[in-house]
């Protein structure tokens, strides 16, 4: 039996696995990607990619390739059974550097990610190879796969990530169980290749008689989702004639070419453990999210970014293996909060009676007269922001309230007045950010301190209203914030240091007024590094 060796094996080449492979490949980690199918997915599945996922694509170096097949920046309309709009969601914030709601098609998305892997000689792709068995010891994971010719092949690695979907073989192999709910409601998905409907926003018809969702896609694609009644069978609702009848009720697409029609039920479930020894779970293998918030795939991409930098740092000897213990601690609470969000949005979309619909929709209408509440929904502030309360971080930040949160990605201006997104300067590793009117001086004073972190990039960010100090040390990387994202978050008139992790979350932060503050901060960060040794 032939063998292959690498640092990390990834089982499953969906969005989570492909993202993880790109991030690890870019970090110089050797990877074997195993996928039982001969190609990436060819049928439409996920249809929404958010700002956090686009930021991760930026970290992969693939955001422009992905955006080539994405319709950026669109919102929602919620509509009564009388065709009256009772709520509209059109977020304008670009806090993380990208628009919050964007339409895409999964085949093109996966194709861009797979093509991206061709950049890395350290990534081996084994499509058409199926999982057979797995075992592990104190030093390795051994995976046996069946090749396209039926022969078995043995793969060995330091770690293995199971990103092989809802029916995950890896999850079963580590005896992890899904807990939560599977809902009885069924929905018919109808995907169109060429729509005649030109309306750009997603429309949600919250009609108890037949809740319906109409989602625009890029390049004239469109998806319709129709709730299936209890007295309708899957076969009855999905006949070509019935599909045409449903499309005719909603708009001009009755005769549009259908590329997919499928009935599905939805789940709100999570694996009880995401790790066993050297084996990890991610994406649908770890959690199943109802589709109503468009967060299932995006949660998997978050898993990939969180796990990738930790595996890379451990494999390369830059951090201790204890950092891997923080993966589920950090990711599972946020993943579950998004599952709960999707369930609650589903209740708005699927009123069970005319009375319930009237009460709920009337409440939304009244919110228009309360500006803070109206903005809460219109700007999608109800979406839980990622926030890690424990993990690889120092929770106490002197009341700054930034640690454990994804940090903004402002547009910044360099000394030559060229402008760039912050992550392009920070790179894919750890960054030390000094923010304040004296940011360059503060960062210069930190030069002598060891923070214990590998390849730490140091950046001084001046507030929007302050020009870069041209008399400061030219060796200091200094920029001016253009769109005030840090300035809006942080207290004014103070000098602040923030350690930002490779996944753009703050690991530590403090106010500084003198060298003793900086020295103490560096010592605490070194202590965090030692805690995972």
* Cα–Cα distance, 329 to 189 (Å, whole number): 34
373 has a pLDDT exceeding 60: no
Structural domain ending residue among the three candidates 309, 329, 344: 344
Is residue 29 included in any domain, yes or no?
Answer: yes
Is residue 160 included in any domain, yes or no?
Answer: yes
Find the helix or strand (DSSP H, E) in which 421 lies.
strand 419-421
Predicted model pTM:
0.93
Is residue 115 included in any domain, yes or no?
Answer: yes
Q: Are residues 57 and 164 in the same domain?
A: yes
Question: What mean pLDDT do residues 305-320 have?
Answer: 98
Closest-CA residue to 273 (of 259, 286, 260, 264) = 286
Question: What mean pLDDT do residues 474-498 have?
Answer: 94
Tokens 């360099």 locate to 414
Lowest pLDDT segment from 29-43, 307-321, 354-368, 484-498: 354-368
**Per-residue pLDDT tens for 199-214?**
888 998 888 889 899 9
385 has a pLDDT exceeding 90: no
Q: What CATH code is carried by the domain that includes residue 289?
A: 3.50.50.60
Is residue 196 included in any domain, yes or no?
Answer: no
Q: Are residues 337 and 420 in the same domain?
A: no
Which residues, including other chains, have CB under 8 Å from residue 531's CB and lie 6 or more apart? Answer: 322
374 has a pLDDT exceeding 60: no
What is the pLDDT of the chain when averaged over all its residues?
91
Q: Are residues 36 and 112 in the same domain?
A: yes
Range of the structural domain that residue 61 is part of: 3-70+104-179+270-344
Q: Are residues 130 and 39 in the same domain?
A: yes
pLDDT of residue 87: 81
Question: What mean pLDDT do residues 509-528 have?
Answer: 91
Question: What mean pLDDT do residues 91-107 have?
Answer: 90
Q: Are residues 441 and 518 in the same domain?
A: yes
- How many domains does the structure of the chain reveal? 2
Categorize the per-residue pLDDT at 1 as very low, low, confident or very high, splitting at 50, 70 and 90: low
370 has a pLDDT exceeding 70: no
381 has a pLDDT exceeding 80: no
369 has a pLDDT exceeding 70: no
Is residue 151 included in any domain, yes or no?
Answer: yes
Is residue 324 included in any domain, yes or no?
Answer: yes
Structural domain ending residue among the three candidates 344, 370, 395: 344
Which residues, including other chains, have CB under 8 Å from residue 323's CB and lie 6 or more apart? Answer: 310, 313, 314, 392, 532
Structural domain ending residue among the three candidates 344, 367, 402: 344
pLDDT of residue 377: 52
Question: What mean pLDDT do residues 440-457 have?
Answer: 94
Q: Are residues 11 and 141 in the same domain?
A: yes
Q: Are residues 157 and 30 in the same domain?
A: yes
pLDDT of residue 386: 77
Is residue 93 included in any domain, yes or no?
Answer: no
Q: Are residues 115 and 8 in the same domain?
A: yes
pLDDT of residue 375: 59
Q: What CATH code is carried by the domain that includes residue 485?
A: 3.40.30.10
The pLDDT > 90 percentage for the chain reads 74
Lowest pLDDT segment from 16-25, 54-63, 321-330, 365-374: 365-374
Q: Are residues 332 and 433 in the same domain?
A: no
Do residues 512 and 491 make contact, with C-beta atoms less than 8 angstroms apart?
no
Alpha helices in 85-219 (DSSP H): 106-117, 169-173
Q: Are residues 313 and 461 in the same domain?
A: no
38 has a pLDDT exceeding 70: yes
pLDDT of residue 298: 94
**Per-residue pLDDT tens for 164-190?**
999 999 999 999 999 998 877 899 999
Q: Are residues 315 and 173 in the same domain?
A: yes
Q: In what order do the strands lie in the sheet with 76-79?
A: 85-89, 76-79, 202-205, 212-216, 222-228, 178-192, 258-271, 287-288
**Per-residue pLDDT tens for 329-368?**
999 999 998 888 888 777 776 776 776 767 667 766 766 6
Q: Are residues 316 and 418 in the same domain?
A: no
39 has a pLDDT exceeding 90: yes
The pLDDT > 70 percentage for the chain reads 95
pLDDT of residue 241: 94
Is residue 404 included in any domain, yes or no?
Answer: no
| Torsion of Cα atoms, 413 then 417 then 418 then 421, to 10° | 0
Categorize the per-residue pLDDT at 291 as very low, low, confident or very high, splitting at 50, 70 and 90: confident
């Amino acid at each position: 039996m032939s063998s292959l060796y690498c640092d990390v094996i990834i089982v499953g080449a969906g969005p989570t696995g492909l993202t993880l492979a790109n991030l690890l490949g870019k970090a110089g980690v050797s990877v074997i990607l195993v996928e039982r199918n001969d190609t990436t997915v060819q049928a439409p599945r996920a249809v929404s990619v958010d700002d956090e996922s686009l930021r991760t694509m930026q970290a992969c170096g693939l955001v422009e390739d992905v955006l080539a097949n994405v319709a950026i920046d669109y919102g929602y309309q919620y509509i009564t059974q009388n065709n009256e709009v009772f709520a509209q969601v059109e977020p304008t914030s670009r806090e993380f550097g990208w628009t919050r709601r964007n339409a895409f098609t999964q085949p093109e998305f996966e194709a861009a990610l797979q093509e991206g892997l061709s950049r890395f000689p350290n990534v081996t792709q084994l499509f058409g190879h199926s999982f057979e068995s797995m075992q592990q010891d104190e030093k390795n994971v051994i995976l046996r796969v069946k090749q396209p010719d039926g022969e078995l092949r043995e793969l060995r690695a330091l770690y293995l990530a199971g990103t092989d979907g809802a029916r995950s073989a890896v999850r079963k192999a580590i005896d992890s169980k899904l807990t939560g709910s599977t809902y009885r409601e069924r929905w018919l998905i109808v995907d169109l290749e060429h729509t005649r409907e030109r309306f750009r926003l997603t429309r949600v018809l919250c009609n108890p008689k037949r809740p319906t969702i109409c989602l625009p896609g890029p390049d004239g694609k469109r998806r319709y989702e129709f709730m299936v009644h209890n007295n309708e069978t899957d076969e009855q609702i999905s006949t070509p004639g019935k599909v045409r009848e449903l499309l005719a009720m909603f708009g001009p697409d009755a005769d549009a070419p259908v590329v997919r029609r499928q009935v599905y039920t939805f789940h709100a479930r999570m694996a009880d453990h995401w790790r066993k020894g050297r084996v990890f779970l991610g994406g649908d293998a770890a959690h199943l999210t109802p589709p109503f918030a468009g967060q299932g795939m995006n949660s998997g991409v978050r898993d990939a970014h969180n796990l990738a930098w930790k595996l890379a740092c451990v494999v390369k000897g830059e951090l201790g293996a204890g950092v891997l213990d923080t993966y589920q601690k950090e990711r599972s609470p946020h993943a579950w909060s998004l599952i709960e969000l999707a369930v609650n949005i589903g209740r708005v979309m699927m009123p069970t009676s005319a009375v319930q619909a009237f009460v709920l929709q009337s409440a939304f209408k009244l919110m228009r007269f309360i500006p803070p509440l109206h903005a809460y929904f219109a700007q999608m502030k109800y979406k839980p922001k990622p926030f890690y309360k424990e993990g690889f971080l120092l929770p106490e930040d002197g009341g700054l309230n930034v640690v454990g949160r994804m940090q903004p990605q402002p547009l910044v201006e360099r000394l030559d007045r060229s402008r760039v997104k912050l992550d392009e300067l920070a790179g894919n590793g750890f960054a030390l950010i000094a923010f304040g009117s004296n940011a360059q001086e503060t960062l210069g004073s930190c030069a002598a301190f060891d923070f214990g972190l590998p390849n730490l990039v140091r950046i001084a960010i001046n507030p929007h209203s302050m020009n870069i100090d041209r008399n400061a040390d030219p060796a200091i990387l200094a920029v001016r914030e253009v769109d005030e994202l840090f300035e809006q978050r942080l207290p004014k008139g103070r000098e602040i240091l923030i350690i930002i992790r490779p996944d753009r979350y703050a690991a530590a932060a403090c106010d500084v007024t003198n060298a003793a503050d900086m020295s103490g901060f560096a010592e605490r960060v070194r202590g965090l590094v030692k805690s995972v040794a």
